[in-house]
Amino acid sequence: MTDLFAARSQMAISLGFHIIFAVAGIGMPALMVIALWRRLRTAAAACRGLPQRDAKGTAILFAVGAVSGTVLSFELGLLWPQFMEWAGPIIGMPFSLEGFAFFTEAIFLGIYLYGWDRISKGAHLAAGVMVAVSGAVSGIFVVIANAWMNAPTGFEVVNGRPVNIDPIAALANDAAFTQTLHMTLAAYTACAMAVAGIHAWYVRRDPGNAFHRHALTVALIVGVPASLLQPLSGDLSARHVAKAQPAKFAAMEAHMHTSANVPFVIGGIPNAETGELRYAIEIPSALSVLMTGRADGVITGMDQIPPDERPPIAVVHFAFQLMVALGSYLMLVAAAVAFFYLRGRHVATVPWVLRALVIGAPFGMIAVEAGWVVTEVGRQPWIVHGILRTADAVTPVPGLVVPLVGFTILYVFLGVVVLALLRRQIIRAPGGELEGFVTRELRAVPPLAGD
């Protein structure tokens, strides 16, 4: 394994791990605040307990997100010192603003989690709102920095160094809007639909369970609108990528040869050597229509990209298709939920939608990972699109396979612990807060070691 590959793998694992918790850090506070708001407005017994459970879940996920995010802020330098030396003055702004947003989130989360009996109900709810807002804002700033790597602007290159730096222009880069919109909606979709799927599972097992039905409703309040809007934002993103990053777009669509009447392909195995795509289902001219508005619209293919500037096509194409498929599934499920809601039926009474929600529980998170692979692997071999190569940015420190293995083991361990904790202590914790709703099935669950 080369050091470059080890560094890329370590970055991928660190980001892939952190992104789950970052997404939860954006989505969970929203659910938590809605649950608390409904709890304050109604005396219904079913609404009791959910705010506390959501808060516990948020606390665990946020803590792991905070520490894994700290690791990333160092890893930018530990793995890519030349990149940071180059880009730090240009994109330091969004990172420093993110620092403050994250600070605000941490402060108000501390107040929210530990302040139940210390501050008034209104102040407590307001603290929750601060957590939700600053969480979303901090995510937006980080994604702006990433968008700059895809659409670098706000500097000129003279003798290989950036000069005439304009950090405001860098902040307002071309990809910033579409990417932050897409990622923020992704965070709400992935987090809320995962939570909805979990509660849908319990509602299926125990249709009379008012607690899980209420929790399902809260998750869907966030998840359904986000899932319905996400494909639209995806379309905006794809248009931008097609225009600004033709190599990434060609890899996403496995579009090898520049041509008109380009079909929209579903599936298929691309062969980068021969420029063929085999076993794909094609919808004639559909991609041309989508991207140019005309059936005979010309779309740049991989053949226009110099060979040493091509990203790995198979990985990007597969990840893109996976993301689109999972996102479309969630959109359809969300549409079904909305359909029944408009007809006055709660999905808790529609078994097939419940089942679809359960199946879709992990889809949002998987789609987030896949989307991240698309944008990062799709930009290769560049770390700053068209400007700085990843290979030129990597640290000269040798033996990077050692930290790669170390951090992988650490993150696998943490991932397993978090899953076990969420399952054991929150999702089916037989705590006092649930008295009155603990139903037949929940009681029948044998006590686990440790309870």
Interacting positions 425-444 with other proteins (CB under 8 A): 425-426
Q: What is the C-alpha to C-alpha distance for residues 140 and 184, in angstroms, rounded to an integer?
A: 7
Residue 410 makes CB contacts below 8 A (sequence gap 6+) with none
Nearest approach, Cβ of residue 383 and other proteins (Å): 14
Q: Does 62 bind other proteins (CB under 8 A)?
A: yes
Q: Does 451 bind other proteins (CB under 8 A)?
A: yes
* Contact predicate 200/156, CB 8 Å: no
Interacting positions 74-133 with other proteins (CB under 8 A): 74-78, 81-82, 84-86, 88-90, 92-93, 95-100, 102-104, 106-111, 113-119
Per rule CB under 8 A, count of chain residues that contact other proteins:
72
Nearest approach, Cβ of residue 449 and other proteins (Å): 9
Specify the stretch interacting with other proteins by CB under 8 A; choose among 243-251, 287-295, 339-347, 417-425: 417-425
Q: Does 71 bind other proteins (CB under 8 A)?
A: yes
Q: Does 73 bind other proteins (CB under 8 A)?
A: yes
Buried b (16+ CB within 10 A) or exposed e, 112-141: bbeeeeeeeeeebbbbbbbbbbbbbbbbbb
**Run of H or E residues at 382:** strand 382-384
Q: Does 5 bind other proteins (CB under 8 A)?
A: no
Residue 185 makes CB contacts below 8 A (sequence gap 6+) with 226, 229, 230, 233
Q: What is the C-alpha to C-alpha distance for residues 340 and 274, in angstroms, rounded to an integer?
A: 49
Half-sphere exposure of 63 (CA within 13 A, CB side): 11
Q: Does 67 bind other proteins (CB under 8 A)?
A: yes
Q: What is the C-alpha to C-alpha distance for residues 79 and 194, in angstroms, rounded to an integer?
A: 32
CA R_g for the chain: 23
Q: Does 167 bind other proteins (CB under 8 A)?
A: yes
Which residue, 87 or 313, is less far from other proteins as judged by CB? 87
Nearest approach, Cβ of residue 103 and other proteins (Å): 4
* Contact predicate 251/378, CB 8 Å: yes
Specify the stretch interacting with other proteins by CB under 8 A; choose among 62-70, 250-258, 276-284, 325-333: 62-70
Nearest approach, Cβ of residue 112 and other proteins (Å): 9
Which residue, 119 or 350, is less far from other proteins as judged by CB? 119
Specify the stretch interacting with other proteins by CB under 8 A; choose among 184-192, 254-262, 303-311, 420-428: 420-428
Q: Does 259 bind other proteins (CB under 8 A)?
A: no
Q: Does 51 bind other proteins (CB under 8 A)?
A: no
Q: Quick count: other Cβ atoms within 10 Å of Cβ 218?
A: 27
Which residue, 73 or 304, is less far from other proteins as judged by CB? 73
Residue whose tokens read 């006092």: 432
Specify the stretch interacting with other proteins by CB under 8 A; choose among 213-221, 222-230, 357-365, 406-414: 406-414
Q: What is the C-alpha to C-alpha distance for residues 32 and 160, in angstroms, rounded to an integer?
A: 48
Specify the stretch interacting with other proteins by CB under 8 A; choose among 328-336, 359-367, 383-391, 404-412: 404-412
Nearest approach, Cβ of residue 358 and other proteins (Å): 25
Nearest approach, Cβ of residue 14 and other proteins (Å): 10
Residue choice 344, 396, 432, 446 for contact with other proteins (CB under 8 A):
396
Q: Does 450 bind other proteins (CB under 8 A)?
A: yes
The alpha carbon of 230 is separated from its chain's Cα centroid by a whole number of angstroms, namely: 12
Residue 321 makes CB contacts below 8 A (sequence gap 6+) with 266, 267
**Run of H or E residues at 379:** none
Q: Does 159 bind other proteins (CB under 8 A)?
A: no
Strands (DSSP E) along 59-164, which ranges?
156-158, 161-163
DSSP state of 425: I
Which residue, 84 or 361, is less far from other proteins as judged by CB? 84
Which residue, 134 or 237, is less far from other proteins as judged by CB? 134
Nearest approach, Cβ of residue 102 and other proteins (Å): 6
Q: What are phi and psi of 161, to 5 degrees?
A: -115, 150
Residue choice 12, 280, 298, 421 for contact with other proteins (CB under 8 A):
421
